[in-house]
Structure 1
Amino acid sequence: MNQPMADVRDMFMVHTMMRREFGLLPQLVREVTAGDTHRSTVVGRHAALMCVVLHLHHEGEDLILWPLLLERGGAQASIFVPKVEDQHHGIEAALEEVKELLPAWTATAHNGERLAEAFEVLRDRLQEHMAVEEEEILPLAAKVVTAAEWAQLGEHSLSNSPKKDLPLVFGMGMYEGDPDVVKEVLSHAPPAARLIMPLLAPRLYARHAKRLYGTATPPRAGRL
């Protein structure tokens, strides 16, 4: 191919964000006092947002990335794409369990231990999956997927996400993101977003984290 190829570094940024946020969720749920619905609403809304982010991220891979890799990735793709597809099924099952439990807990702040355990299952399956992607899938994608095709993954999530949540989610990624990767991602955004997002998104996440974790600087993914 003579076209520019995928710059997959943005996927590592997304993975870091998910490791951090899903890694912290079990403890967040456990720390909510039974019956404290004010606090369960804060944590529950964050958890629901992360569930949407994860679902859209994996849906984009299912629809866009796996077919491209199977078409072009040869033996490596034939081995590892079925593996990550199976992992997606396991993650989706864990996600459904969380989504079944989350509304009642958010409304009542009761039976939190069951929800925390469900988040632990989801976290563990997600971490295993992301490790395989980073070791096998992303290096392959960088070789056989074009930059234009790779951009469709981000477009899928953007077009299906509530617009009001996008600056906050981007701020979550920026918190541990490589500034060069952040700059590259924003280079494809409309001019107004390129100017505003570097200022707005980190502030939104800092305020969100302060409310959620009690600090604007929660533990980084590598320290969990």
Structure 2
Amino acid sequence: MSEMPVKRSPDATRPADTLTMTLFHAALRRDLERARFLLENPHWLSPRRARRLGRMLLWDMGELRRHHEGEDHYLWPLLLERSPESSELLNAMENEHLAIDEPLAELEVAARGLVAARNGPQQVLAALDVLEGPLRTHLEHEEADGMDIVTRVLNHQEWKEFEQRAWAAGYTPLEALRFLAWICDGVDWSPSVLRRTRMPVPFWRVLSGPLSSIAAVPGASVWAGTPAARIRSRVTPR
């Protein structure tokens, strides 16, 4: 009697699609641009909004730490194993993370000061200025070169397993919902991006429509009622 053929997941037969990486980077850039607007225009910052902005920046930096630690602990070693010839680029990715660590910590200190009303927007803006240069350089480098290695040596099933192990593990359901709302906020879901989600378009529009507009909802967003809410996530297709 012949053996039954092993059925492979469709995700195991196609290259990794790093849409979640693109969405994360876009959401991070969006929040930093929104924060910069409020910090440069402090007449929009009531004491309550300033505290909320400080807490929002602390949350953003916590997510950035989780993101980088997942790459350092899981992704770069896996890519090095599959593509030893890429060692120079992967070392550069790690070194760029190290260069971001100190200014990231300084922004966290300034944001805590904003929450506690120990300092004003000027100190937070100064810390943001120091962080944004190396951070934006790294994000662009990772998108342009790092993700090319991913799509070359990993299939999509392997990429999803990495995401679960490195980033999603440890989230409570409430934390996962907050992250989903954050990453969808301000995204213009073009047909090409929607196709990459692999979800039925009507279902995704019902889900993503409200989440994409959450920045304008009073009480739900630190940005609501300010021009910062109009700053969108710019998702660049690969």
TM-score band, normalised by the shorter chain?
0.7 to 0.9
Q: Percent identity at matched positions?
A: 21
Unaligned runs of 5+ in 2: 1-11
Number of residue pairs aligned between Structure 1 and Structure 2: 215
| Alignment match, 1:68 | 78
Instruction: Calculate the TM-score normalised by the size of structure 1.
Output: 0.80
Distance 1:56 1:153, change over 3 A: farther
Contact persistence 2:100–2:131 (CA under 8 A): yes
Q: What amino acid maps onto 1:39 in structure 2?
A: R
TM-superposed CA distance for 1:40, in Å, is: 0.7
Find the partner of 1:42 among 37, 45, 52: 52
Find the partner of 1:83 among 92, 100, 104: 92
TM-superposed CA distance for 1:18, in Å, is: 2.0
Contact persistence 2:24–2:183 (CA under 8 A): no
CA RMSD in angstroms, aligned pairs only: 3.0
Q: Whole-Å Cα distance in 2 between the matches of residues 110 and 214 of structure 1?
A: 23
Q: What amino acid maps onto 1:146 in structure 2?
A: N
TM-superposed CA distance for 1:17, in Å, is: 2.2
Write the deviation string for residues 190-217 of structure 1: whole angstroms up to 9, x where unpaired: xxx9686324322323323752743642
Write the deviation string for residues 78-101 of structure 1: whole angstroms up to 9, x where unpaired: 111111101101112211111122
| Alignment match, 2:196 | 184
Unaligned runs of 5+ in 1: 188-192
Write the deviation string for residues 113-137 of structure 1: whole angstroms up to 9, x where unpaired: 2221111222111110011112211
Instruction: Calculate the TM-score normalised by the size of structure 2.
Output: 0.76
Find the partner of 1:10 among 3, 16, 20: 20
Determine which structure has more spread, i.e. the larger CA radius of gyration: 2
Write the deviation string for residues 34-76 of structure 1: whole angstroms up to 9, x where unpaired: 994212122112212211221222122112210111111232x
Q: Normalized per residue, which structure has more helix?
A: 1
| Alignment match, 1:202 | 212
